[in-house]
Structure 1
């Protein structure tokens, strides 16, 4: 089974036969067979040449690069291996038709807010979040009655502000609103880094399908980003990223030296990133019984299933019902 490899050490990547050789700054080598690699996440300063890149591309390996103060820098997306002209046309038609786009975007927002509520509601008996939950319920219901995507984005924005305020309450975090560039405070730092990890994982899952990652419904398609990955990420942020954050903070797993903090910005240090990545990778491998498939699937597989549900909607096989936490 292919896996994602997270590389924190600086060094070099090179091809040696049918393996990828990782050479750290001390000259120590690690060999990974190419058939075991689905994706590489690069957190250190890593060099590689065009031949190595060509080899990785030919094997369908995605590469995601992270910086210290920018979190996510960019991705290398190999040439599409699964191309469907019929699906591409349907994907674009659903994006340019205002009614069709609004339906998909509405499903995404409704699902996202539902999942936010599922994350916060277990804390209602011990934390002052009842008003937050009432507001989220209102926004969730409103999302089904939005008249256009602009209004829907406003509803989603209001819901997320309410939700993050609740999240700061249940984690007992100092928080003065969501601040991204740069993040301010430990909660913002964890959210930003976690969301970047999820974004790259969704890119990986889209690559396994015939979807075009640049054609989206809630977020506006733009250059230099895979906006469909942003759409799909919205539904899984509460389940994956935010539940990791509540675990790390409420169990006092994060220490002062896990953050690189000044008055104006906060980033995770290497030790903090490693803790987040360890939790993230473990969460993706968690399994649960899927009620429709009648078998256990991983959280990683849930994201891929969501992609295929969207495909079925786009080609007219089944109306799209976005992912909602059911357990």
Structure 2
């Protein structure tokens, strides 16, 4: 099993990344703030405006360390990677399946059904742990509706029908997301899911963590030789990481949404760390971003029992495990792709 290495997150907008031998050096105002050997990291996510030296990019590319550039609000801007590797036969099989509407629909139904199942579990666990603080009747109603949407998704006859069920399920889930926020309700409340830009503190958190998750999923797909840009559920579009977006669906509730709720309910962050921009969007200040990233790194180190492998794996390795299983399925070693279902 692959070793879980570190991802370097650079949150200062004034940071510049440089190379010193085999080390990545973070500088602010030309003064060194941090350094790390390149072989100790597997990825870099930088929110700095100052950039990165060509020598540092070269070092990362040589060592298969992917570098993602993200805006202050968490919007993905671009990515630098080394030469494409992997089995060309696997990628060609991936492309053939992506061009086959029937096979694409079959895989897409698994992604959507897995996502809906995991959102339902989030609500069920909240009811189990905090029923005295929740509207039990309301959540029971939404859980029942999600069960129906999951079955409908698996029986979909077309991609448009499937996307319709996915949208309806997401609307139901996020309509009660405020119920799961037990503390700091005056600072953290969402009126539905919104993005580009996020218009409230909860959506700002969700969007930011989804970007971190995207970095992990894309790197995992590339590491097993799959093309993260060619997916089955999400439509191909220049610059769009369609397969990474497909695979993210099963992880969003368990990895990202739960982390958002924990950060708020455990008072690890507060409303003063969010800033409204002139255009109306919400961003986090630097200290809040650091707190979120620290919690994200700790979350990745937690262990779970993988339901298909029946082995303990770190949460940070879940994207890699699922990418391996996807590759095995596309090669014909597995009859079906075992989507990750949170228990």
Of 265, 270, 280, the residue aligned with 1:250 is 265
The equivalences for 1:284-303 within 5 A come to 284-303=300-319
For residues 69 and 229 of structure 2, what CA distance do their matches in structure 1 show?
19
Aligned residue in 1 for 2:295? 279
Of 209, 214, 233, the residue aligned with 2:229 is 214
How far apart are residue 117 of structure 1 and its match?
0.7
Aligned residue in 1 for 2:167? 157
TM-score norm. by structure 2 comes to 0.89
TM-score norm. by structure 1 comes to 0.94
In structure 2, runs of 5+ residues without a counterpart are none
Of 192, 199, 213, the residue aligned with 2:207 is 192
For the aligned residue pairs, the C-alpha RMSD in angstroms reads 1.8
Cα distance, 1:297–1:102 mapped onto 2, change above 3 Å: same
Secondary structure of the residue aligned to 2:342 is coil
The equivalences for 1:111-126 within 5 A come to 111-124=114-127, 125-126=131-132
The equivalences for 1:56-205 within 5 A come to 56-69=60-73, 71-81=75-85, 83-124=86-127, 125-126=131-132, 127-128=134-135, 129-171=139-181, 172=185, 173-205=188-220
Secondary structure of the residue aligned to 1:31 is strand
> 1:324 and 2:334 equivalent?
no
How far apart are residue 26 of structure 1 and its match?
5.6
Question: What's the CA shift string for 1:167-190, capped at 9, x where partnerless?
Answer: 122115432221112111111111
Question: What's the CA shift string for 1:155-174, capped at 9, x where partnerless?
Answer: 11111111111212211543
For residues 270 and 154 of structure 1, what CA distance do their matches in structure 2 show?
38
For residues 133 and 201 of structure 1, what CA distance do their matches in structure 2 show?
29
How far apart are residue 262 of structure 1 and its match?
5.6
For residues 152 and 115 of structure 1, what CA distance do their matches in structure 2 show?
17
How far apart are residue 208 of structure 1 and its match?
1.4
Secondary structure of the residue aligned to 1:233 is helix
Secondary structure of the residue aligned to 1:183 is coil
For residues 295 and 34 of structure 2, what CA distance do their matches in structure 1 show?
23
Q: Is the 8 A contact 1:195 1:237 kept in 2?
A: yes
For residues 305 and 179 of structure 2, what CA distance do their matches in structure 1 show?
31
Q: Is the 8 A contact 2:17 2:56 kept in 1?
A: yes
Of 11, 14, 18, the residue aligned with 2:18 is 14
The equivalences for 1:15-30 within 5 A come to 15-25=19-29, 27-30=31-34
Q: Is the 8 A contact 2:25 2:32 kept in 1?
A: no
How far apart are residue 294 of structure 1 and its match?
4.8
Q: Is the 8 A contact 2:11 2:289 kept in 1?
A: no
For residues 164 and 191 of structure 2, what CA distance do their matches in structure 1 show?
20
How far apart are residue 251 of structure 1 and its match?
2.1
